[in-house]
Amino acid sequence: MTDSLHVLPVRTGGAAENMASDFLLLQRYPHPGVARLRHYLWRAPSFTFGYSQKIAWVRSQLPPGGPFDLCRRPTGGGIVDHREDWTYALVIPRGHPLEEVRATQSYRVIHEALAEALRAQGVPVDVKMVRDDDGHLPGVCFEQAEIYDVVNPATGAKLAGAAQKRNKHGLLFQGSIWRPACGSGSSGPIDWDLFRAEFTAKIASALGLPAQPTPWPELNEGEVDGLVEQYSSPEWIDHR
């Protein structure tokens, strides 16, 4: 029974640790019928990339100035630069109405909530409603907006994108906001703590659930360490 949205504490981790934590929140959360949301930070300059992307191409797209903490995500999508982004993960459990719709529809609903939270900070944004029919493959995330991405209405520049994974446990939604593209709000610099509270409220409303601050779950330490080790390994990062 999905009766609340658990809002988890902010944590800082390496790229492999953050990706492993997101996946385990989908797979091993102690309250599997409850939606959960987290915002998190990066211990070092980091990039993540989609599960199906070719590692040789990914490395060719990284900017000078590395080394960077690099990890393949369990979700799809393109390369995401996390050096100046605002990152979050949302898990919607199996059986919730938003988990059962098509990926494009869940993408739209979550990004509409995100856009509303940015507008509350005075940032002019739209959700892109037209699909580009060029057949391109996922590339570098913030270079080109896809349908239902959050964009600047004046320039079309992409401000926020995401990737999804759906399995028998539910839907994992990993999202990123490129903070430099957001600029300042109408009343001055964006208050990202206030944005987080507003975004949480908008997500809770979209899900039809009350938000509930919740301590970090007690996950099996051996399983956590094992998945972090897997996500750090060349076999995971370089396997395509």
User: Letter for the amino acid at 141?
Assistant: C
pLDDT of 184: 83
Percentage of residues in the chain with pLDDT exceeding 70? 94
Total domain count, the chain: 1
Sort 67 into a burial class: Cβ within 10 Å, 0-12 / 13-18 / 19+: exposed
Average pLDDT rounded to a whole number, residues 52-78: 94
In the predicted model, what is the mean pLDDT of the chain? 92
Task: Check residue 133 and give its pLDDT.
Answer: 58
206: its two tokens? 């979209």
Which pTM was predicted? 0.93
Read off the pLDDT of residues 122-164 as tens digits, 9 standing for 90 and up: 999 999 987 765 555 555 555 567 889 999 998 888 999 999 9
C-alpha–C-alpha distance, residues 42 and 72, integer Å = 15
Residues 6 or more apart in contact with residue 166 via CB below 8 angstroms = 99, 103, 172
Which token pair is 210?
A: 């009350």
Average pLDDT over residues 175-191: 89
- Residue range(s) defining the domain that contains residue 30: 5-237
Please give the Cα distance from 161 to 149 (Å, whole number).
Answer: 5
> Residue 196, class by beta-carbon neighbours within 10 Å (0-12 exposed, 13-18 middle, 19+ buried)?
middle
* Mean pLDDT of the region 63-67: 89
Per the model's pLDDT, the better-predicted residue between 87 and 156 turns out to be 87
Instruction: Give yes or no for residue 39 having a pLDDT over 60.
Output: yes
Residue 15 pLDDT more than 80?
yes
Of the pLDDT bands very low, low, confident and very high (cuts 50, 70, 90), residue 114 is very high
pLDDT at 143: 58
Report the pLDDT value the prediction gives residue 10, as an integer from 0 to 100: 98
Could you read off the pLDDT of 188-230 as tens digits, one per residue? 889 999 999 999 999 999 999 999 999 999 999 999 999 999 9
The C-alpha atoms of residue 75 and residue 183 are separated, in whole angstroms, by 28
**What's the CATH number where 29 sits?**
3.30.930.10
Predicted local distance difference test score (pLDDT) of residue 1: 47
Question: CA torsion, points 8, 14, 17, 18, in degrees to nearest 10?
Answer: 40
C-beta of residue 28 within 8 angstroms of C-beta of residue 210: no
